[in-house]
């Protein structure tokens, strides 16, 4: 299959079967781009998430640009972005045109009561897999724990966490260099 | 100002000032489309939030499509989406190129050694934030635990698990 078509179709599939926004696309992107298609490595996937979190805009668009570019340059980025936003666009257009108020439908509500707890579980999976790729050990485990507390419970903006941890990593690297 | 240009600029601003993805973008959209421009009413926005969380894809794209259409029809929704996507696209492309070039640099490597554990924390934080309102009774806790075991231990496709959970929700809560 043409690589651009493959990128479009893969991201279309990912964008169609995720509810609750961009972050819930992460487990599907990991599965397809890293394990099924082998477009990027596990380490690159973690780097990509770090980059996506440190720049503004939807995380799904960031991830599509990165993976598309790695696979097939700028054309690849465009194909992947189109795929990942296509369903969101078509479905919301239909809702705006014909189905204002569909969220109050009892059947639709019931389906989503089942899906929401599943999304929580699906997001926990890449956390554990990434913890391995990011080589988290007894010393560094404090960093993700503090991050969760700051971001989820105190609403601290993710970009400050990224900047602080980048500076921390840089300082630690310089310290190691001076010792040797 | 031309309404299409206005839509494009407002959504570019929303895209450029939102970090972290997902629900984090909602307060910004509300400020711009409900308060600053009065394009839709507050209660319609609350419905939009519920719809965005129950429909596929990124929340920002859901919001841009709906609001763009309500303000200026089909082309309004196209321009709103371009506003969200274009700035992000350009910035991420430049960052990706720079990263490919400099990732072997010692300083970049040390900075990333600090960022990577934080990234794991950011995804965990997303899981925590999604969990608000997701657990309504013991059955939803059971769904969460079963899906986790099937996905992590047995490597079942997340799409399959999402569809099955939807069917279970339909049967249990209808």
pLDDT in tens, A38-65: 999 988 898 898 888 878 888 899 999 9
- List, for residues A72-87, the tens digit of each pLDDT value: 999 999 999 999 999 9
Count other C-beta atoms under 10 Å from residue B89's C-beta.
Answer: 21
Element (H, E) at A123: helix A106-133
Question: Residue B22's pLDDT band (boundaries 50, 70, 90)?
Answer: low
Sign of the C-alpha dihedral, residues B3, B65, A126, A47? Answer: negative
Chain A: closest CA distance from residue B172 (Å): 8
Span B25-51, average pLDDT: 82
Strand partners, B52: none
Please report where in the chains the tokens 């339909």 appear, as a residue. B170
A55 CB neighbours in chain B (<8 A) are 19, 88, 91-92, 95
pTM: 0.82
Helix axes A42-54, A106-133, angle to 10 degrees: 120
Give the whole-angstrom CA distance, residue B112 versus residue B157: 30
CB contact under 8 A, B57 and A50: no
Going by C-beta distance under 8 Å and a sequence separation of 6 or more, which residues neighbour residue A61? A22, A81, A84, A85, B58, B84, B85, B88, B89, B92
B20: pLDDT strictly greater than 70: no
B21: pLDDT strictly greater than 80: no
Q: Tokens for B143, please give them.
A: 């769904």
Q: Tokens for B89, please give them.
A: 């696209």
Q: Tokens for B154, please give them.
A: 């047995």
Span B73-86, average pLDDT: 95
Give the whole-angstrom CA distance, residue B124 versus residue B122: 5
Three-state DSSP at B64 gives helix
Buried b / exposed e along A67-105 (16+ C-beta atoms within 10 A) = bbbbbbeeebbbbbbbbbbbbbbebbbebbeeeeebbee
A151: pLDDT strictly greater than 90: no
Question: Residue A133's pLDDT band (boundaries 50, 70, 90)?
Answer: confident
User: In terms of CA atoms, which chain A residue is nearest residue B85?
Assistant: A61
B109 CB neighbours in chain A (<8 A) are 173
A126: pLDDT strictly greater than 70: yes
Report pLDDT for B159. Answer: 82
Which ipTM score applies to this complex?
Answer: 0.82
Three-state DSSP at B56 gives strand
Window from A74-83, B18-27, B154-163 with minimum mean pLDDT: B18-27
Percent of chain B scoring above 70 in pLDDT: 97
Report pLDDT for A125. Answer: 85
């Amino acid at each position: 299959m043409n690589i651009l078509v493959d990128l479009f179709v893969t991201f279309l599939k990912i964008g169609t079967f995720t509810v609750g926004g961009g972050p819930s696309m992460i487990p599907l992107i990991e599965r397809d781009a890293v394990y099924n298609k082998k477009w990027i490595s596990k380490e690159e996937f973690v780097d990509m998430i770090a980059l996506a979190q440190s720049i503004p805009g939807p995380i799904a668009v960031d991830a599509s640009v990165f993976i598309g570019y790695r696979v097939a340059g700028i054309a690849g980025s465009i194909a992947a972005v189109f795929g990942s936003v296509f369903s969101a666009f078509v479905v919301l257009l239909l809702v705006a045109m014909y189905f204002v108020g569909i969220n109050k439908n009892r059947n639709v509500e019931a389906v989503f009561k089942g899906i929401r707890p599943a999304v929580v579980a699906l997001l926990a999976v890449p956390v554990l897999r990434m913890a391995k790729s990011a080589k988290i050990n007894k010393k560094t485990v404090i960093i993700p724990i503090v991050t969760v507390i700051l971001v989820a419970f105190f609403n601290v903006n993710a970009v400050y966490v990224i900047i602080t941890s980048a500076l921390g990593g840089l300082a630690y690297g310089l310290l190691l260099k001076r010792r040797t | 100002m031309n309404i299409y240009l206005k839509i494009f600029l407002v959504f570019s601003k929303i895209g450029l000032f939102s970090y972290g993805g997902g629900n984090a973008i909602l307060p910004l959209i509300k400020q711009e489309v409900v308060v600053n421009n009065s394009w839709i009413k507050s209660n319609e926005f609350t419905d939009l939030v519920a719809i965005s969380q129950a429909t596929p894809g990124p929340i920002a794209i859901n919001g841009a499509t709906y609001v763009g259409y309500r303000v200026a029809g089909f082309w309004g929704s196209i321009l709103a989406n371009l506003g969200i996507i274009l700035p992000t696209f350009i910035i991420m492309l430049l960052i990706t190129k720079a990263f490919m070039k400099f990732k072997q640099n010692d300083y970049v490597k040390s900075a990333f050694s600090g960022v990577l554990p934080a990234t794991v924390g950011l995804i965990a934080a997303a899981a925590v934030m999604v969990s608000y309102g997701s657990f309504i009774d013991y059955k939803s806790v059971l769904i969460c635990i079963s899906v986790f075991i099937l996905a992590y231990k047995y490597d079942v496709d997340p799409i399959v698990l999402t569809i099955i959970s939807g069917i279970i929700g339909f049967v249990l809560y209808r």
